[in-house]
Amino acid sequence: MINMRESKYLEYKENLTSNTFLKTVSAYANYGEGKIVFGIDDSGIVIGISDPVNECLNLENKINDSIKPVPEYNLEIQDDSTIILTVFEGMYKPYLYKGKAYKRNDSSTIEVERLEYNRLVLEGSNQSFEELTSSDQQLTFSKLSTELIRVMGIEQLTKDILKTLELYSDQNGFNNAAALLADNNHFKGIDIIRFGDSIDEIMERKTFENVSILSQMEQSIQMFHQYYRYEKIEGMERKSVDKIPEKAFREAVANALVHRMWDIPASIKISMYPDKIEISSPGGLPAGLSEDEYLNGQISLLRNPIIGNVFFRLKYIEKFGTGILRINRAYANALIKPSYQIFSNSIKVILPVISTDYNLNETEKMLLAFLKNRNNLTRKEIEKLSGMEKTKIIRGLNNLIQKNIVQREGNGRGTRYKIKK
């Protein structure tokens, strides 16, 4: 019996009588390498294939005749007479079965929607949405011009500069990246909601859309200053203090504008709470980028490189792919750190308010004191050092994890706890 369950990248088939596996071949060729194992029944029992050599030929014919274009794949006969079909992600997308493209949804295979199909077509032609010709060619760039004059010292924004920024070509005119930077456009933008003590209490709502993404960023920062900055008098001086590091907020908003999917007709959501700000942008991670790579700032794949280049030249971002590192750096001396939630269709950045208290009880304060002196301790080690009860320690550690102050590493007896960096 096979221990591994079916997953996004693994499917079992009892035999070759049905052609439904060809949908999964399309899915793997379109979205990422995967395996189909023939000769295993629904309960996970290996029954093998009676004539595996002949069935491999049969598989080849079915794939070559049914999937257009033909994807790259490999067939292996195992000692238990099962056949492993490995399908590799292809460059010439979309890969179609009976004229339709498919994707994996957990352990099932489903047809892609029109928006995703269009993305596959773009990917197959090595194009991105921002490169496509804009439907509006009557664009003006007052805001972009002002920013380029201020930061780069140009005299005026010319067609040649727009060409250098890859916003315009003589052959195709303005592209979607240009439209996003133009004074007026048809794109959704940023939706900001400021909440009271609960999500039922909406204090204020502002929506910035159909205008330059540079203006959207500026207006978002103005609202940030209004509610997360206060003045403090120290001696004879009046000093501005940010409840949340402005650098972190700027970077998170810039990241959302540069990395979001602009073909989705949805806004970037900024939710302002008394104790945090949440920034949620449409679209998950770019294909080929893992969650670990994203969180560690190893972003080598830019979804919107043209927009990213403009933001870099205007010093809105410091360097491509370093946004997460810069957000974390802004919280270097804070007890509670930013957190990140990555979903298939969105990415959320959570920026906590920096405080000196954090509503910690005595147990939590004691646990933190032990972890500060000897970071990376097991629960038993904390028990020995503190003399506290096991249940009290577990409850306290769980509270600190929930507050995003402490992180847990490992499993079972080897589980260790340390203060988040």
For residue 329, the SS3 value is helix
Both tokens of residue 294?
A: 């994203």
219 contacts 247 by C-beta, under 8 angstroms: no
Beta strand ranges found along 60-166 (DSSP E): 67-68, 73-77, 83-87, 96-97, 100-105, 108-111
Measured in degrees and rounded to the nearest 5, phi and psi for residue 340 equal: -135, 135
Fold of 190-352: Heat Shock Protein 90 (3.30.565)
Burial class of residue 209, CB neighbours in 10 A (0-12, 13-18, 19+): middle
pLDDT of 379-410, one tens digit each? 888 877 777 888 888 888 888 888 778 888 88
Q: What pLDDT is stored for residue 54 in this prediction? A: 95
pLDDT of residue 362: 82
Say what the pLDDT of residue 321 is.
Answer: 65
Structure tokens at 301: 């794949």
pLDDT digit string (tens) for 74-108? 999 999 999 999 999 999 999 999 999 999 988 89
User: Domain spans of the chain?
Assistant: 10-124, 190-352, 362-419
pLDDT at 237: 81
Burial annotation 190-202 (CB, 10 A radius, 16+ → b, else e): bbbbbbeeeeeee
Gyration radius (Cα) of the chain, Å: 27
Position 320 scores a pLDDT of 66
User: Measured over all CA atoms, what is the biggest interatomic distance in the chain, rounded to whole angstroms?
Assistant: 90
Question: Considering the entire predicted model, what is its pTM?
Answer: 0.77
**At CA 127, angle to CA 122 and CA 131, rounded to 5?**
115
Peptide bond into 94 cis (omega under 30): yes
Q: What pLDDT is stored for residue 369 in this prediction?
A: 76
Residue type, 232: K
Q: Nearest 5°: phi and psi at 372?
A: -70, -40
Intervals of the chain under pLDDT 70 = 1-3, 287-288, 298-301, 319-321, 356-358, 421
pLDDT of residue 286: 77
DSSP code string of 231-274: EEEETTEEEEEESS-HHHHHHHHHHHHHHS-TTS--PEEEEE-S
Backbone region of residue 358 per phi and psi (left: phi > 0; alpha: psi in -120 to 50; beta: other values): left
CATH top-level class for 10-124? alpha beta
For 362-419, give the CATH class.
Answer: mainly alpha
For residue 410, what are the CA distances in angstroms to 4, 376, 383, 403? 22, 11, 18, 19
For 408, the token pair is 């847990």
What span, in angstroms and rounded, lies between the C-alpha atoms of 256 and 258? 6
C-alpha of 240 from chain center: 33
Q: Does residue 322 contact residue 381 with C-beta atoms inside 8 Å?
A: no
